[in-house]
Amino acid sequence: MSNQKVTVYAMQNCPYCVKAKGLLTQRGIPFETIMIDDWSDEEWSKFEKKSGMKTLPQIFVGEKLIGGYTQLAEVDAKDQLKSLTA
């Protein structure tokens, strides 16, 4: 996954979105946040089909879905997110 952009799809007032962004920041991993609060139902449906997830945050490295905060925390427990930048 080296040198691929990390993208966090999030919403305002989402505690797990805040936790995910905080963990990435703590580990020094640069990321882009895409806020989806104003997305239409059609946009959300299309995104949901792409990821297969119905919850937020949704964290991608390049085009690969890592998952949500829980999955990000699991990667962090293994290697402090070093595998995201290796």
* Phi, psi (rounded to 5 degrees) for 80: 55, 35
Among 3.40.30.10, 3.30.70.20, 3.30.9.10, 3.40.50.300, name the CATH number for the domain at 6-85.
3.40.30.10
CA distances to 2, 22, 43, 75 from 17, rounded to whole Å, are 23, 8, 19, 16
What's the pTM value of the predicted model, to 2 decimals?
0.92
Query: Is the pLDDT score of 78 beyond 90?
Result: yes
Q: Which residue has the tokens 């595998």?
A: 83
pLDDT tens-digit map of 4-60: 899 999 999 999 999 999 999 999 999 999 999 999 999 999 999 989 999 999 999
What is the reported pLDDT for 4?
A: 86
CA distances to 15, 22, 29, 53 from 49, rounded to whole Å, are 23, 27, 27, 8
What is the reported pLDDT for 2?
A: 53
Q: Quick one: which H or E segment has residue 72?
A: helix 69-79
What is the reported pLDDT for 1?
A: 45
